[in-house]
Amino acid sequence: MSGTTLADWLRAQDDSALVALLRARPDLATPPPADVTVLATRIGSRASVSRACEDLDTLALSVLEALLVLDADVRPVPLDRLSALFDVDVRPTVGLLQDRALVWGDASGLSTPPATRDAVNPFPCGLGRSVPSLAETDLGVLGEDERRVLGALAAGPPVGQTKDAAHVVSLANAKTPIQKLLARGLLVRRDAMTVELPREIGLKVRGDRPLGEIRTAEPPLTTVERAPATVDSTGGGEALELCRHVEGLLGLWSDEPPAVLRSGGVGVREVRRVAKDLDVDERRAALLVELVVNAGLVADSEGAEPEWVPTTQADSWLTAAPEHRWAALALAWLDLPRLPGLIGQRDDRDRLLNPLAPELNRPGAPRDRRRVLDALAALPPGTAVPNVDELAAVLAWRAPRRGGRLRDELVRWTVDEGTSVGVLALGALTGQGRTLLSEGPGPAAKRLGDALPAPVDHVLVQADLTVVAPGRLEPELAEDIALVADVESAGGATVYRVHEGSVRRAFDAGRTAAELHELFRAKSKTPVPQSLTYLIDDTARKHGRLRGGAAGSFLRCDDPVLVAEVVAHPAAERLELRRIAPTVLVSPYPLAEVMDGLRAAGFAPAAEGPDGRVLDLRAAGRRIPGKGRRRTAVPSVPSDEQLGELVRLVRAGDRAAATTGGARVAVPGHLGAGPSATLDLLQRAAREGRSVLVDFVDGHGTAARRVIKPQVVGGGVLEGVDVSYGEVRRFPLHRITSAALVEDDPA
């Protein structure tokens, strides 16, 4: 079998091997190959070989390059010659390459497609092109300076740039080591600036290491065992922090949506504003911006002056349970077809890369992100990798051709972002992160809910007017506390601070002093300090003495002195306030604007409705219709049954090509005798009980192929048994594009 062709070798494989090949190299199946010869041609194309090599590890690539060193792309190479170049057993690796049809043949002769040299490495194993006449060259006559040059080129790559290659000189006139080596014929001059070390000389210089330094085993990975519950709870804390920050971002952009830059994205000033308001660093702020857009919570308004505005989906997200909020954000990060790690760097034109800029688009980013997480998921639960560089080295060994120049950076970015999102914690994959990868967001949300401590129904009020939440609060309590106090620090225990402005905010929202007193009395596990009681009462006495309504708007107050004080203030002229009674003022401006103006002037007015009750005039925030979460198109993965059917059709195409007189009959539209010839061939197959390979277009305009045993041909219809499924099918003759007789499968 040493001289067998790839097509013959493929024909000798069983169906299960071909199914495995099509699964490992899905590009071979699209469009479906007509026969084995077409499949073999496609296997040997440069683009397909290059794609197939992306999933090979370092050892497999080294074996493939070693075969190229032995010129297996020109003539078959015995397995023992290949094995002699390695100090490990390469037979399993050769088998893996055969499974992917990157190598074919048996132990007596292994071959690889000619395109492999261009697709893998034009200088395999760092060796130059062959000059057979140099095989017996003696290097003992060389000087030390010449040996150093050869050693540098032998280490790879075997080409170098030098001005000494510009002119051809004799050995007697050679002055530099390069000129001497060129004169001896030990270097090959490729052009006026380039020299190349021939393969034979490189092998001699390397001696007992003909392939150079090859890492045949995966690098070691240092791991640390942590309690899975600790990892999950730590990740849960990060998940809650993520949700809190996203909630803050949505609130910020509801009030003041940032402009969309002309080049796309968000400006540097806006990122700094987000970072300052949320009390996070700019890198985390940029990641939050990317997440809310990919999750569909924020979108481009696409108006005359476009802005980044929260969508109606943000309202649904805000009312969801924390674990479901997190699951939506974690999935948005996992499927993010962009590289947030590039934010802050500069492109080829020295332009700063901003969040949401189109230059960050990378369709392969979700695949690379999952590859890092899958490597961590393969470790036992709770197993942490403290050294990210070691993880990058392991993944680089497993797939050195993936990731390009950012290969190692992608690993570091994924670990950093995954930790910020709560998918990773303490260097390990969390339970909820593991579930997200394997089962999806719904089960992951449930897993997070189980990992989080139960919500608490109380707070601890301190004498310094701080309120400590010893865990995540029940939703209603969290809303009440957030209304009357501001977050001072977050974490396992959130610390809030109550001050006059926060109490006034609660009053503006319609709360009364009695309700605030009852809130702290009922929910605080510590005695309510007098200072808090006084603060609430003092603020209540000042709040609402001025009452506003719509005129535009009006102000009323039972104290004429306070009304006079307002009229005398410069703000009254700006708001165009005028007295219509001793205790009533009116303005043409909207009530909300009057309230804001008076508050800025130091007054504490309250808005009231027609029934006299306090109104909450806080803006609900802008919203635009949701556009759905950005999704990366994921190609459907064919089942083994579908691939098996494809293999059967390929073999049928082979048999059709081999059938005597069974040349394919094509139907050239409505011209010529094509339809008549097709009809004759189908009727002949029906009479003789033979199978036909039929190409046709279905009702949806999709081209397809089937092996049919015709039973009835006439009336514009072919009726016969679909050999693959054993079903009787009907095909309109005008939809059949070609047909060919097929010899019965001997199996």
Closest CA to 421 of 656, 563, 246: 246
- How far, in Å, are 203, 603, 675 from residue 155 at the CA level? 10, 80, 65
DSSP H helical segments within 378-421, as ranges? 388-398, 407-421
What pLDDT sits at residue 661?
46
- How far, in Å, are 54, 363, 365, 405, 526 from residue 402 at the CA level? 6, 14, 11, 9, 58
What pLDDT sits at residue 669?
40
What pLDDT sits at residue 671?
35
Q: Is the separation of the CB atoms in 743 and 734 below 8 Å? A: no
- How far, in Å, are 23, 43, 369, 634, 702 from residue 639 at the CA level? 9, 21, 25, 15, 19
What pLDDT sits at residue 660?
45
Q: What is the 3-state secondary structure (H, E, C) of 215-281?
A: CCCCCCCCCEECCHHHHHHHHHHHHHHHHHHHHHHHHHHHHCCCECCCCCCCCHHHHHHHHHHHCCC
What is the Cα–Cα distance from 536 to 507, expressed in whole angstroms?
10
Structure tokens at 293: 């857009």
Backbone angles phi, psi at 508, to 5 degrees: -60, -30
What pLDDT sits at residue 242?
95
Q: Is the separation of the CB atoms in 568 and 587 below 8 Å? A: no
What pLDDT sits at residue 231?
94
* Element (DSSP H or E) covering residue 578: strand 578-581
- How far, in Å, are 407, 415, 505, 633, 727 from residue 404 at the CA level? 5, 18, 53, 22, 49
What pLDDT sits at residue 720?
87
Backbone angles phi, psi at 626, to 5 degrees: -70, 145
Structure tokens at 637: 């993965």
Task: Supply the pTM of this predicted model.
Answer: 0.75
What is the Cα–Cα distance from 90 to 109, expressed in whole angstroms?
15
Burial (0-12, 13-18, 19+ Cβ within 10 Å), 595: buried
What pLDDT sits at residue 673?
42
Within the chain, which residues score under 70 in pLDDT? 1-3, 491-492, 549-550, 618-621, 627-636, 657-676, 743-747
Residue pLDDT, tens place only, 225-248: 999 999 999 999 899 999 999 999
Q: Is the separation of the CB atoms in 605 and 544 below 8 Å? A: yes
What pLDDT sits at residue 666?
54
